[in-house]
Chain A
Amino acid sequence: MAVYERSYHGYDGELTGTGNRILVISKFTTRELFRSRMFCAFFAICFVPSVSFLIAIYLRYNLEMLTELQIPIDEIFIIDAGFFINFLQYPQASLSFLLALVVGPGMISPDLRDNAMPLYLSRALTKTDYLLGKLLVLVVLLSLITWVPAVLLFFIHAYLGPEGWLVDNLQLPFAFIVTSFAWIFTLSLTALALSAWIKWKQVAQITFFGFFVMSSALGEAVREIFGGWLGSAFSAFDSYAVLISYAANEPVPISMPPSVAIMNMLVLSALATALIFQRIRAKEVA
């Protein structure tokens, strides 16, 4: 058939904007995640501490019978900045680590293993777009179980609690958001870096877990030998604890300088990002 007889011609309609293109990757990645019932159940469980803390706040201000029984509730059950810091530092830090463990290592490795990277990068998508698309999934999921419930709990307490409490503690929501994002990016980028370098998701998960556990254990060993805060510098969890307390203007539980904690997270994130970009290539060259 002569070319002029053919009806095919190039697409000349509107193209999706760059921002929306990134969302395509995020959308399909999220859809795949929520196909698993186990994951849905686990994600639901991640909200249990938030609900528990919410119930605790409600009961604190609504159980008249405690007052009638003359139980000094103001002395026993104090809801202050420490209450919210404990919420973020203990249940939510662990759950966010587990969520990153479940989700992160399986994000890039299947695309590399099954040779899907050329399919992505031969489209109008850069390496950065691809990474942002994947990262967005982790950031959103981890945000939903860290600073989002923390900020909501804060405002609910501000509503239920004593007058002026909100104004006195206005730095808290900002502290939660900033430090949570630092934690989220550290976890997410590390998970994605391991996913980019290790072919199999299961091995990447074990390595991700091992990396954080080992660094904490190493920190313990260093603390045992050298004393002081040096051991805490090896632990991402300790760095997070220091940052939250410092940002919230509360006494810092570990004597590590906040600058060291910030540096830890920055260095880890930067290293992870560099490793990811080295690995995301359209074609494997032997």
Chain B
Amino acid sequence: MNAVTYPQDNPHLWFTQLRAIIGIELGRVLFTSRATAIYVVAAVPIILLTTVGYIDNPRTGGPITGNIANARYAFAVIYAGFLLGTMVFLGSASLFISLFRGEILDRSLHYYLLSPVRREILAAGKYLAGLIASIGLFGTVTLVCYLLLYLPYGVSQMMSDFSSGPAARELTLYLLTTVFACIGYGAVFLLLGLFFRNPIFPILVLIGWELMHFILPPALKMISVVHYLKGIMPPQPWRGPIAVVMASPPAAVCMLALTGLTAVALILTVLRLKRIELRYTDS
């Protein structure tokens, strides 16, 4: 039998395999009917802020958000509560959990497991595909939503804020927060999808953990993604005693720590992947 000649097991091969896996996964997560829910979720804040941009306050006749400072305050609340807390969190859950758990449910993961690809490359490829998709989508939504703030105030206000105001720095921090949220939550959800047959319960536990993170002892705070994200975000308009309780490390430290947390989650993913068993029977 004439066997084909396989490429050598070296970084060039790994890169080729990584590219192939990323290509397949991007097609799966972004260009199938299952991606509809994520697109709907991403569209909601854009629709909301576009509507806000065109509706006038009936009493004053001006923008419904008042002045630009109020608008930025409103965006801060919307970003923390809706964009980050719901869109990125649940969107990442849906995206990253489907990377492994979705394929197990679809009974198509064996095509990967039966390929001569290192499990590290497989895990990295899937994670990177999820990351590209989530950062691409949610990062774009964050950017568009921030720019939509200026819809009622005009281009000149926007240019002024970006050139000499706080807008450039704020937008950069929001985008960085979105990126690191995708990085951190992505790794956690990728791991949860591999470990748990039904990830809804660990998701509920994670939500509880993230919501209560501010009362956790320092050692446990270190394994909370939102604890680090709050250090990267622009200063939040929290008032009263909670402002003190929720103090986070500096942004650079938070980014490093999140990267470390992500690395730990990915290592655990690879270890699990190396021991995974698939049963394909009549049932």
Contact = CB atoms under 8 A, between A and B. Distances in A.
B198 interface: yes
Interface stretch (B18-26, B75-83, B240-248, B256-264): B75-83
Contacts of A202: 101, 105, 197-200
B97 A206 contact: yes
Interface string B82-103: 1001110010011001100110
Contacts of A101: 200
B94 A210 contact: yes
B82 A218 contact: yes
Interface in B46-79: 48, 52, 64-65, 74, 77-78
Contact of A225 (B74, B85, B101, B203): B74
Interface stretch (B8-16, B37-45, B168-176): B37-45
B95 to A, nearest CB: 11
Contacts of B90: 206, 209-210, 213-214
A207 B37 contact: yes
Contact of A206 (B45, B105, B200): B200
Interface in B175-210: 197-200, 203-204
Interface residues of B, number: 31
Q: Is the interface of A mostly helix, strand, loop or mixed?
A: helix
Contacts of B94: 203, 206-207, 210
Nearest to B52: A225
Contacts of B97: 206
Given A202-B200, A203-B98, A214 B41 contact: yes
Given A210-B41, A220-B82, A225 B198 contact: no
Contacts of B98: 203
Contacts of A151: none
A33 interface: no
B198 A214 contact: no
Given A206-B203, A213-B90, A226 B198 contact: no
A214 B91 CA distance: 11
A210 B37 CA distance: 10
Contact of A218 (B48, B64, B74, B102): B48
A217 B81 contact: yes
Contacts of B199: 202, 206
A216 B246 CA distance: 23
Contacts of B93: 206, 210
Contacts of A225: 48, 52, 64-65, 74, 78
A217 B48 CA distance: 12
A116 interface: no
A221 interface: yes
A220 B90 CA distance: 17
A217 B86 contact: yes
Contacts of A203: 34, 94, 98, 102, 105
A222 interface: yes
Nearest to B37: A207
A205 B90 CA distance: 12
A200 B41 contact: no
A80 interface: no
B105 A221 contact: no
A224 interface: yes
Best-buried of B77, B82, B94 by chain A (most CB within 10 Å):
B82
A221 B77 contact: yes
A224 to B, nearest CB: 5
Nearest to A223: B77
B41 A221 contact: no
A213 B200 contact: no
A226 B105 contact: no
A222 B47 CA distance: 12
Contacts of A222: 48
Nearest to B44: A218
A-B residue pairs, 7 tightest by C-beta? A217-B86, A205-B200, A221-B78, A210-B90, A221-B82, A217-B82, A224-B77
16 contacts: A202-B105, A202-B198, A202-B200, A203-B34, A203-B94, A206-B200, A209-B204, A210-B86, A210-B94, A213-B86, A214-B41, A217-B85, A218-B44, A221-B82, A222-B48, A224-B77
Interface of A: 101, 200-203, 205-207, 209-210, 213-214, 217-218, 220-222, 224-226
Given A213-B86, A226-B64, 8 more contacts: A200-B105, A202-B198, A202-B199, A206-B90, A206-B93, A209-B90, A210-B41, A214-B44
